[in-house]
Amino acid sequence: MKIKTFQIMLVALLGYTTLTASSCAKKNNNIVLENNTITVAPVGPEFVADSAMAYCSAQCEFGPRTMNSDAHDRCGKWIAAQFERLGCEVERQDASLTGYDGTMLRSTNIIARHNPKAEKRMLLCAHWDSRPWADNDPDEANWRKPVMAANDGASGVAVMLEVARLLKEADTLNVGVDFVCFDAEDWGVPQWSNRNDPDSWALGSQYWSTHYEFKGAKPRFGILLDMVGGQGATFYQEGMSTKYAPGVVENVWTAAHQAGYSQYFPFSPGGSITDDHIPVNENAGIPTIDIIAYYPDCKESSFGPTWHTVSDDMQHIDPNTLKAVGQTIIQVIFTSHN
C-alpha cells in the first residue's frame, strides 16, 4: 500500500526513532521510503471486530452504567474480571467524587497492566460510565433518561479488551500497555441546566492524574478512545491532542494509513474538546491524544446523531468502525515492537 507523502517525521512510538522521507530507500519497521512515497505492510495480529462487538454488547447488557447504580457496580466488576482473565495485573482506584450538583459519586477507575515489567510502556484509556441524562435527544421527554452508552463509553472499553486479548497471545512482545478505564467522565453539566462548569466533566481522570502512583515505568505516551464504534464515524485530528501531543497524533494517524484505514483517519483538523486526555496531559504529564469521532456535517451534534440520546445503543454500533480503530492501535503497538 502507498501513502501520499506529507512532510513527516515518523517517530517510532515508544522508541522515538526519527525517520525523514528522502529520495533514497531505507528499511525500518516494515517501512520503505523511496522517491517520497511511503510503502508499508500492516503489522501485528488481526483485530477481531466480532469479538469487540461482543465486549461492547456485554457491557450494555448490564443496562446504563450510570454513577451509583447497581448496573454500574456490576459492570465495573465484570470489566476488571475480563482484564484479569486476559493476563493483566488489575487494580481498582476507588474515590468519592463530587458531581456538579453536589451528588457524591462512588467512582472506580480500573487500571490493568499488560506486561508490567516492561520498560517501554504506552497508555490506552477510555471511560466506562454512562451519561445519566439523554440531554441531546431530539425528544425533550427523553432528556432526563439515562443513556445506554454503547458508543459513548462501551466502545472504547471494548476495543481495549480486544487489544488485551491479542496481546495475551503475543507473549513475546516487549512492550507494556497500561489500560485505564476512567469513571465519572459523563456527569458533566446537562444542557437543560443553567450552570456552566467545564470541570464537571472527566472527574475520574482528574482524580487518577493527580493521585495515581505508577508501579514501575511510566507510559511514554497515551491514546484515549472515545466514541470509537459509531456508524459513519470519521476520526479527525482533535485540537487539544495536536496542542499537547502533536507527535503522537502524527504517528497514530500514520499508523492508521499503514493499516489501511486512511478513509477513517483523514489528516485534517477536527474540533477541540474537554475530555479525559486533558488531565492526563496537564496533571500526569503523559503526552496523550484523543481518538474521537467527529461529524462535521451532522445537524444533531458534531459527535454524531446518537450522542447523548437514547439511541446510543448496539443497533448503532458498526463493527467496521471498531475494526478501523482497533487495527490502528495494533499497528501502533506492533510497529513500536519491531
pLDDT tens track for 65-115: 999 999 999 999 999 999 999 999 999 999 999 999 999 999 999 999 999
Yes or no: say if 313 and 150 are a contact pair by the CB < 8 Å rule.
yes
Q: What is the mean pLDDT of residues 139-162?
A: 98
For 273-295, letters b (16+ CB in 10 Å) and e give bebbbbbbbebbebbbbbbbbbb
Residue-level pLDDT at 8: 27
Domain 43-337: give its CATH code: 3.40.630.10
Q: What is the pLDDT of residues 105-120, one digit of tens each?
A: 999 999 999 999 999 9
**3-state DSSP assignment of residue 247:** helix
What pLDDT is attached to residue 5? 24
Lowest pLDDT segment from 30-44, 187-201, 213-227, 228-242:
30-44
Residue 11 pLDDT exceeds 70: no
26-61 pLDDT tens trace: 233 344 344 444 556 789 999 999 999 999 999 999
**pLDDT of 128 strictly over 60:** yes
- Three cell numbers written together for 74: 456490576
Closest to 131 (Cα-Cα) out of 84, 193, 183: 183
pLDDT tens string 170-212: 877 889 999 999 999 999 999 999 888 999 999 999 999 999 9
For 38-74, b/e burial (b = at least 16 CB within 10 A) is bebebbbeebbbebbbebbebbbebbbbbbebebbee
Q: Can you tell me whether residue 295 is helix, strand or coil?
A: coil
User: Where in the chain are the domains?
Assistant: 43-337
- Fill in the DSSP letter of residue 230: B
Rounded-to-integer distance, Cα 247 and Cα 14, Å: 12
Closest by CA position to 189, among listed 179, 181, 200, 177 = 200
pLDDT at 337: 57
**pLDDT surpassing 50 at residue 7:** no
Q: Is 158 helix (H, G, I), strand (E, B) or coil?
A: helix
Question: Which residue shows C-alpha cell 477481531?
Answer: 48
Cα–Cα distance for residue pair 200/198, rounded to 1 Å: 5
pLDDT at 195: 87
Q: By the 8 A CB rule, do 305 and 311 touch?
A: yes
